[in-house]
Structures are given as C-alpha cells and as structure tokens.
Amino acid sequence: MARKFQTPIIIVNFKTYSEATGQRAVALARKAEKVTNEEGVSIGVAPQFADITTVAKAVDISVFAQHIDPIAPGSYTGHVLAESVKEAGAIGTLINHSERQLKLSDVNEVIRMTRKNGLLSVVCANNPVISAAVATLKPDIIAIEPPELIGTGIPVSKAKPEVVTGTIRLVREVNPKVTILCGAGISSGEDVAAALKLGTKGVLVASGIVKAKDQYSILREFAEATKP
C-alpha cells in the first residue's frame, strides 16, 4: 500500500535544476538508491514531471511528483493529474511548495485527491502558524520551509530552531499524527542531525544535494546523520 512510509526520511526535490533533468535525474536517483541500500535509510526523490516514468523505472526508492493540480481526469490542458503521476510511478507528491503555492481550498482538494489515489501527501508550509493550518487538513507529511532560507545553505534547524520547535508544538495541538520534516537551507549532515534532534522525522532538501559537487558523498553524509 503506497501511503505507508518509513521515517526518518530524506526527500530530495530535483526542482528544475539542469543537474537533475533527464539523464541526470536518473543518475542522481541512482545515487540516492545506492545510499539507501548501503545505509538502510529511506531516501525519496522528486524529479520533474517528464522524468517520473524514467526515474521510477530505473530505481527502487520512493518517487514523488513536485506538484499535482486539484483536478479529476477531464478537459484540462497542461495540468498535472494525480492519476497520471501515479501511473508513471510516483508514490506521492509535494504540495504547496513555496515556489508553487496553492489557494487554501486547493491545498485541501489536492490532499483529498492524494488520499483517493493512494498517494502520499507532503505539504510544504512557510511558518508555524501555516503549518498548523495545514495540519488540520490531515496530510501525511508537513515540510516546514521558511522561504527566506530556501537555497541559502542556512539551515532552519540552526538559524531558526524556534521555528521548528514552534511548528511542532502548534501542529501537535491540532494533529498528533502527521509526520513533520524540516526543509530550507539543509546542506550538511550536521544540519540533518540538528533537524532530527529538534523533533522532526527527516528533511526536504534540494540544492544542498542537487548542486553538490559530489552528490553521492553528501547523500551519504545526510543518511548517516539520520542514524541514532
């Protein structure tokens, strides 16, 4: 059943980086699979829509879409259908990333669609208050990403630990179950360890891995940092 997953988890968002497009998306996913096997740690990848099929065929780790639209099958040119990314091999999707934000009612509708299609929902939220709002919609996972730290290499777990602990506290008031990940600025094993120590169950990372000179080594560093 697709909506199960194991924590701690590291989800690598490939964005539209050239270092993670097409053949290079497959290559990066293979490194993630290698580290998963070597370290026994759960690593997921979120490639571009057009790469989901190829990546999902090439590796045996969790593949996520980066976004889906709040639509059912039908007359919607240029939209992203839950059923389509699922058949392509995705087991879940990012939702409401700060670079692809949704209207409130669409966040709810998309979560509903992931549920209907047996997909994992990973909803991004900017701050503790918004995380709590999202938590009431009962997604599987919330990733807290202060947009001002995205791509900076300054990890939220260090720069603003109170954002992480505040999020956990507010979220738990309304939802005792949802898994909380830490995003934005994570670029070393130390950052990952800090994020877990604050009480999260993993990280959502992009440039920290994708743009690294040695993607494999840094993936390994991340994976090792998730171990007790």
| Residues classed as catalytic | 97, 145
Q: Which of 73, 177, 213, 228 binds its own copies (CB under 8 A)?
A: 73
Give the amino acid at 161: P
The 8-class DSSP code of residue 97 comes to -
Tell me the C-alpha distance between 51 and 21, whole Å: 7
Radius of gyration over alpha carbons of the chain, in Å? 16
Q: Does 215 bind its own copies (CB under 8 A)?
A: no
- The H or E element that residue 38 is part of is helix 23-39
Q: Which of residues 192-211 bind its own copies (CB under 8 A)?
A: 206-207
9 vs 196, beta carbon nearer its own copies: 9
Q: Does 224 bind its own copies (CB under 8 A)?
A: no
Strands 62-65 and 42-46, bridge-based pairing: parallel
Q: Does 221 bind its own copies (CB under 8 A)?
A: no
Q: Does 80 bind its own copies (CB under 8 A)?
A: yes
The 8-class DSSP code of residue 122 comes to E
51 vs 191, beta carbon nearer its own copies: 51
**Shortest Å, Cβ 197 to its own copies:** 26
Q: Which of 61, 107, 144, 219 binds its own copies (CB under 8 A)?
A: 107
Q: Which of residues 130-189 bind its own copies (CB under 8 A)?
A: 130, 132-137, 150-151, 170, 173-174
Q: Which of 52, 47, 60 is nearest to 13 (CA)?
A: 47
User: Tokens 């090792």 label which residue?
Assistant: 224
Neighbour-count burial for 158-167, b at 16+ CB within 10 Å, e otherwise: bbbbebbebb
**Of 12-20, 28-36, 158-166, 188-196, which part binds its own copies (CB under 8 A)?**
12-20
Query: How distant, in Å, are the alpha carbons of 94, 146, 192, 194 from that of 156?
Result: 19, 7, 10, 9
8 vs 70, beta carbon nearer its own copies: 70
Q: Does 11 bind its own copies (CB under 8 A)?
A: no
Give me 189's structure tokens.
């094993």
Give the amino acid at 130: I
Q: Point out which residues bind its own copies (CB under 8 A).
A: 13, 15-18, 21-23, 48-54, 65-67, 71, 73-81, 83-85, 87-88, 90, 94, 96-105, 107-108, 125-127, 129-130, 132-137, 150-151, 170, 173-174, 206-207
